[in-house]
Amino acid sequence: MSQRYKYVDDSKQLVAVFCAGDVEYLTHSDVPSGVIIEPWWTEQDQAAYELAEKIRVERRWRELEIKQVANRLDQLRNDERYEMVTYTGDYTAAEFNAYRAALVAYGDHIHESSVRPSIEAVAQQLRSRSEASEGTLREVAR
């Protein structure tokens, strides 16, 4: 297990030892010789903090998007069931389902350079596939 030693105070007399989620405090004289004692807040800590914050924000956004997609799917289902039109958007149920799948997958793979999925991109990809398969079917039918 990796241990990190960090100064706790400005006078550099108290050192915190971080190991497996536990923290132990030592005086500077009790720290084993040869150990590198880091400042309390390092660039590595800042990067980890920023990534954790991004993950938290992105997951909250994703949860809200999934709820909105579920609402749109319910709206489409009810429109079909009751033969009425309340949804006037440009996307189909298949496109919403593909977007929902992209949102679920996105939540498991958030990192510093993550790009949010968009309904527009997912719909365009599905439409491109559909057009390509229709073209193939026309060629086979000839």
For 77-92, write each residue's pLDDT tens digit. 999 999 999 999 999 9
Identify the pLDDT of residue 53. Answer: 95
DSSP character at residue 83 = T
DSSP character at residue 20 = T
Are 60 and 87 in contact by the 8 Å Cβ rule? The answer is no
Nearest to 38 by CA among 13, 11, 7, 9: 7
For 30-59, what is each residue's pLDDT tens digit? 999 999 999 989 999 999 999 999 999 999
Which residues pair with residue 19 across a beta bridge? Answer: 22
d(CA 38, CA 6): 5
> Where exactly are the structural domains of the chain?
4-38, 51-141
For 100-128, what is each residue's pLDDT tens digit? 999 999 987 888 888 999 999 999 999 99
Q: Tell me the average pLDDT of the chain.
A: 90
